[in-house]
Amino acid sequence: MSAILLSGKPIADAIKAEVADDVRAIKEKHGISPCLVVVRVGEDPASAVYVGSKVKTAEELGIISEHVHLDADASQEKVIEVVAGLNARDDVDGILVQLPMPKHIDERTVLELIDPEKDVDGFHPVNAGRLLQGHEALTPCTPAGVIEVLKRSGIAIAGKNAVVVGRSNIVGKPMAILLLQENATVTICHSRTADLADVCSRADILVAAIGRTGFIRREHIRPGAAVIDVGINNVTDPVAAADLFGPDDIEKRLATIEKRGFTLVGDVNPRDAMELAGYFTPVPGGIGLLTVAMLMKNTVTAARSRRRI
């Protein structure tokens, strides 16, 4: 048995095509284009790559995009001033503050300052509360992307046992709520869950979002389950890589480590998942591609909602 790989690219491409069509329709009918502003503080290399990808994708889809980059020593007051200014601009539909920020910035204070109607990351307590109560809300992009992958791949959710490993506000908790809204029976696991492998091994849908390289192994996976890997971790050790990848993948991964110094792997041991699962999202090339697509979708949703169009 070998799992069916659920590539994120065709699904992300389909969502982005739908967003582009919606952006054109808004512009033709109302003469405006949705606008997304990304705020980045400091010089974190990964953040620079992520922001560049978001800005580029927005432009490709016809969304107006701006990138506000502040120095690493920018004060919290300056960041707050920037966000407050974006809240006040009527032409701005979406505001995204790229995380992480420098340690002297209180991220919670900044994120809670964002106008909930422009909170395209879906992190604001107002949107989190609306999601919990089943109302329309801007939803965190990664969990929303997982639901899209399941639905568009024809994987049934209603009535299934779903286990989410991880309880973060960004992925774990909203993931559980979205699965519950799709009528799954949901269990949330975490570092203090007793008999974790036993709980996971009863899941029809297993979502791993814990930030631990290859932690989910064969003892956690029910044969035939849909295994969704949300993690993104760097593996630099060829010996460790040999424990994670099967014969069809290991040579390519070792070549990547030699060339770049690392290869990406999720929170699931890919070799074990490919041998046992019915479906599996690869890393890279899986859920990560959906996050940006869902951000674009949220930007258009925010534009329609706040402009009442």
- As a whole number of angstroms, the distance between CA 126 and CA 305 comes to 15
Burial 4-26 (b: 16+ CB within 10 A, else e): ebbebeebbeebbeebbebbeeb
- As a whole number of angstroms, the distance between CA 37 and CA 106 comes to 20
- As a whole number of angstroms, the distance between CA 300 and CA 18 comes to 11
Copy the structure tokens of residue 49: 């790559």
- As a whole number of angstroms, the distance between CA 127 and CA 122 comes to 6
How many CB atoms are closer than 10 A to CB 281?
32
Catalytic residue from among 16, 54, 118, 173: 54
Under 8 Å between Cβ of 150 and 157: yes
**What are φ and ψ of residue 92, in 5° steps?**
-95, 120
C-alpha distances (whole Å) from 104 to each of 124, 134, 165 are: 20, 35, 30
Residue 98 annotated to the active site:
yes
Under 8 Å between Cβ of 207 and 226: no
Q: Within 13 Å of residue 149, how many CA atoms lie on the same side as its CB?
A: 34
Copy the structure tokens of residue 82: 């920037």
Residue 252 annotated to the active site:
no
Catalytic residue from among 115, 121, 229, 267: 121
Residue 54 annotated to the active site:
yes
**What are φ and ψ of residue 270, in 5° steps?**
-65, -35
Catalytic residue from among 16, 22, 98, 118: 98
Under 8 Å between Cβ of 151 and 195: no
The residue type of 280 is F
Residues marked active site are found at 54, 98, 121
